[in-house]
C-alpha cells in the first residue's frame, strides 16, 4: 500500500524539476531548473566524502539536509551510520526521491573535510548548479594535501614524542622515531596492496613489533613498553573508541555501536600482532645507566610534568600533520593539545579523580576548538581532534587487549575499566561543551 503511494527512485533522474538559483545570483533573477535526483546525488557525494575524511555522523546528516533544503526541498530525511547513508527528499510538488550510498574505506583528512564543509556553505548560499558542484568535488578530491615527507615527519613526531610522554628515556624516543619512520615506509608500500582493513592493521602491528625488537636489540632503545606504545599510537583506534561513546551519548546509537565494534576488533588485531612478536622475540631490556643530575631530574615528578607538557605539544603537532590539518592550522592544533594536557595536570591540584580531570580538560579542549573554528571559519574538528589527542586512551586500550591475548584477565578487566572510564569522560566533556556552545550561539550540532 505504502509502496504504491511512494514514488521511490534509486539513482535515476526524475523529470520533475526543482526551482533554484544559478551560481552567482542573489535574487529571483537567473532562475534555473535542476533535477531533484541530481541535487540529491551531489549532496550524497559530499556526505560520503565527509564520512571518509573523518566527519561526524551528525555533521554529515546536517550538511546533506541543509544542501537539499537550500534547493527548495519540502522535507529531507537523512539516516547515516559509518558505512551507509540513506536519504529521502520530498519536493514542493510532493514527489519522493530516495538514494542510498555505501561508504567504504576511511582516510582521516581534516583539511579535505574543511574544504567540503566550505563547499556546502557555498552551495547553501548560492544554490550552485549541480554540475558545477560535481566538478568542485572532483577538484577537492584531486588535490594532494601534503607531500610524502610531511607524513614521514608526522610518523616520527608522533612515535617519538609519545614514547617520551609515556615515560620513555631519550634513547627510547630516538629508537621509537626510527621505528616510526620504518613503519611509515611500510604503510606507504602496503596501502594499495592490502585492501582488508583488519588484515592491514594486523600486518602493521606485526611489523611494529619486529621494529621495536630490532631497535632494542641493537642497543638504540632501552625499554620495550614505551617504544611500543609510542608506535601503536599511530594505529590504535583510541579516537574511534571515544567517538563511538560520543555517538551513543548524543543519540546516534547504531553508529556508536558500529564504531565500538570496529575499534575493539582493531585493538585486538594490534595487541595480538605485537604480542605474538614479543612472545617469541622479546629482547631483554637494557640495564639503566648510572643516574646523573639530569637523569634524576628527568624521572622526578617535576621533570616528567615538564616532559609531558612539551611532548604534548609536539605529539599533537604530529597528529595534526598526520590527519592533514591545513598547514595554517597545525600549530594551533598543537597549541590546543598542550593547553588541554596542561589543564588536565592542573586539575590534579584539587581532585585525584582521573575521570573528572578528563571531563574538565576535554570541556576546555572543545571550547578551544569551537572558538578557533569561529575565528578561522572552519569545522571545529580541525582543532578539537589535535587538542584532545593526548587524552585519547590509546596506550590503555593496547594494554587492555594485550592482557586479554596473554590470558591476564585481572589486568584485562582493570585496564578495560580504566580505558572505558577515560573515553567516557572525554565524550561527556565534549558533549557538555558542544551542547552549551550550540545553545548559546543557536548553531545546530554539525553546523560549525
Domain contains 83:
yes
Residue ranges making up the domain that contains 245: 148-441
Q: What is the CA radius of gyration of the chain?
A: 24
Q: Give dist(CA 340, CA 423) in Å, integer.
A: 15
Domain contains 447:
no
Domain contains 86:
yes
Asked if residue 134 and residue 225 are part of one domain, the reply reads: no
Tell me the pLDDT band of 284, cut-offs 50, 70 and 90: low
**Highest mean pLDDT out of 15-29, 52-66, 257-271, 284-298:** 52-66
> What are the φ/ψ torsions at residue 168 (nearest 5 degrees)?
-75, 160
Average pLDDT over residues 256-284: 79
Tell me the pLDDT band of 3, cut-offs 50, 70 and 90: very low
Show Cβ contacts of residue 408 under 8 Å, excluding neighbours closer than 6 positions: none
Give the pLDDT confidence score for residue 8 in this predicted structure: 39
Point out the domain boundary residue: 113, 142, 171.
142
Helix (H, G, I), strand (E, B) or coil at 448: coil
Burial of 34 (0-12, 13-18, 19+ CB in 10 A): buried
Give the pLDDT confidence score for residue 262 in this predicted structure: 81
Average pLDDT over residues 124-129: 89
Tell me the pLDDT band of 28, cut-offs 50, 70 and 90: very low
Asked if residue 320 and residue 216 are part of one domain, the reply reads: yes
Average pLDDT over residues 332-337: 93
Asked if residue 221 and residue 158 are part of one domain, the reply reads: yes
Asked if residue 18 and residue 115 are part of one domain, the reply reads: yes
Residue written as cell 539516516?
A: 79
Point out the domain boundary residue: 107, 142, 177.
142
Give the helix ranges, DSSP H, for 146-252.
148-165, 170-190, 197-217, 224-232, 238-249
Q: Are 205 and 272 in contact (CB under 8 A)?
A: yes
Give the pLDDT confidence score for residue 447 in this predicted structure: 45
Average pLDDT over residues 296-311: 90
Give the pLDDT confidence score for residue 40 in this predicted structure: 93
Domain contains 180:
yes
| Mean pLDDT of the chain, nearest integer | 82
Domain contains 345:
yes
Domain contains 179:
yes
Domain contains 406:
yes
Contacts for 357-360: CB closer than 8 Å, 24+ residues apart? 357/425, 358/391, 358/422, 358/425, 358/426, 358/429, 359/425, 359/426, 359/428, 359/429, 359/432, 360/429
Average pLDDT over residues 194-198: 77
Asked if residue 121 and residue 155 are part of one domain, the reply reads: no
Q: Which helix (H) or strand (E) holds 17?
A: strand 17-21
Q: Are 383 and 368 in contact (CB under 8 A)?
A: yes
Half-sphere exposure of 213 (CA within 13 A, CB side): 16
Asked if residue 93 and residue 228 are part of one domain, the reply reads: no
Q: Is the pLDDT of residue 338 over 70?
A: yes
Helix, strand counts (H, E) of the chain: 18, 5
Asked if residue 24 and residue 53 are part of one domain, the reply reads: yes
Asked if residue 224 and residue 121 are part of one domain, the reply reads: no
Helix (H, G, I), strand (E, B) or coil at 398: helix
Asked if residue 105 and residue 136 are part of one domain, the reply reads: yes
Q: Give dist(CA 70, CA 62) in Å, integer.
A: 12
Total domains in the fold of the chain? 2
Q: Express each pLDDT in 29-72 by its tens digit.
A: 333 468 899 999 999 999 999 988 888 888 899 999 999 999 98
Asked if residue 119 and residue 229 are part of one domain, the reply reads: no
Asked if residue 407 and residue 325 are part of one domain, the reply reads: yes
Domain contains 446:
no
Q: Give dist(CA 299, CA 281) in Å, integer.
A: 28
Give the pLDDT confidence score for residue 285 in this predicted structure: 60
Point out the domain boundary residue: 77, 111, 142.
142
Give the pLDDT confidence score for residue 149 in this predicted structure: 82
Average pLDDT over residues 351-363: 92
Asked if residue 106 and residue 53 are part of one domain, the reply reads: yes
Show Cβ contacts of residue 38 under 8 Å, excluding neighbours closer than 6 positions: 13, 130
Amino acid at each position: 500500500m505504502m509502496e504504491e503511494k511512494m514514488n521511490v527512485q534509486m539513482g535515476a533522474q526524475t523529470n520533475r524539476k526543482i526551482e533554484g538559483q544559478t551560481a552567482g545570483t542573489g535574487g529571483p533573477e537567473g532562475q534555473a531548473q535542476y533535477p531533484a535526483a541530481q541535487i540529491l546525488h551531489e549532496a550524497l557525494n559530499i556526505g560520503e566524502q565527509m564520512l571518509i575524511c573523518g566527519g561526524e555522523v551528525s555533521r554529515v546528516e546536517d550538511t546533506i539536509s541543509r544542501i537539499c533544503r537550500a534547493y527548495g526541498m519540502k522535507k529531507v530525511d537523512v539516516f547515516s551510520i559509518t558505512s551507509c547513508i540513506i536519504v529521502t527528499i520530498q519536493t514542493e510538488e510532493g514527489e519522493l526521491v530516495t538514494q542510498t550510498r555505501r561508504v567504504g574505506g576511511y582516510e582521516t583528512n581534516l583539511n579535505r573535510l574543511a574544504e567540503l564543509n566550505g563547499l556546502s556553505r557555498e552551495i547553501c548560499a548560492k544554490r550552485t548548479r549541480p554540475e558545477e558542484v560535481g566538478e568542485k568535488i572532483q577538484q577537492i578530491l584531486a588535490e594532494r594535501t601534503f607531500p610524502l615527507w610531511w607524513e614521514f615527519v608526522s610518523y616520527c613526531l608522533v612515535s617519538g614524542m609519545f614514547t617520551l610522554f609515556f615515560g620513555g628515556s631519550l634513547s627510547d624516543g630516538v629508537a621509537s622515531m626510527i621505528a616510526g619512520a620504518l613503519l611509515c615506509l611500510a604503510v606507504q608500500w602496503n596501502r594499495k596492496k592490502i585492501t582488508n582493513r583488519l588484515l592491514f592493521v594486523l600486518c602493521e602491528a606485526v611489523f611494529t613489533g619486529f621494529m621495536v625488537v630490532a631497535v632494542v636489540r641493537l642497543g638504540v632503545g632501552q625499554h620495550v613498553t614505551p617504544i611500543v606504545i609510542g608506535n601503536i599510537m599511530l594505529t590504535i583506534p583510541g579516537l574511534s573508541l571515544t567517538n563511538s561513546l560520543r555517538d551513543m551519548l548524543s543519540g546516534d546509537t547504531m553508529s556508536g555501536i558500529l564504531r565500538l565494534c570496529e575499534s575493539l576488533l582493531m585493538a585486538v588485531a594490534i595487541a595480538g600482532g605485537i604480542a605474538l612478536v614479543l612472545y617469541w622475540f622479546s629482547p631483554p631490556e637494557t640495564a639503566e645507566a648510572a643516574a646523573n643530575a639530569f637523569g634524576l631530574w628527568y624521572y622526578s615528578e617535576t621533570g616528567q610534568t615538564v616532559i609531558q607538557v612539551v611532548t604534548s605539544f609536539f605529539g599533537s603537532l604530529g597528529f595534526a600533520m598526520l590527519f592533514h590539518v591545513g598547514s595554517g592550522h597545525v600549530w594551533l592544533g598543537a597549541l590546543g593539545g598542550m593547553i588541554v594536557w596542561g589543564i588536565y595536570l592542573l586539575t590534579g591540584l584539587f581532585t585525584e579523580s582521573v575521570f573528572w580531570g578528563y571531563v574538565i580538560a576535554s570541556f576546555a579542549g572543545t571550547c578551544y576548538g569551537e572558538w578557533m573554528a569561529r575565528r578561522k571559519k572552519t569545522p571545529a574538528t580541525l582543532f578539537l581532534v589535535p587538542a584532545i589527542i593526548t587524552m585519547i586512551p590509546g596506550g590503555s586500550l593496547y594494554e587492555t587487549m594485550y592482557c586479554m591475548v596473554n590470558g591476564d584477565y585481572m589486568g584485562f578487566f582493570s585496564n578495560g575499566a580504566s580505558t572505558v572510564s577515560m573515553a567516557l569522560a572525554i565524550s561527556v566533556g565534549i558533549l557538555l561543551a558542544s551542547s552549551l556552545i550550540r545553545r548559546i550561539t543557536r548553531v545546530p550540532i554539525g553546523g560549525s
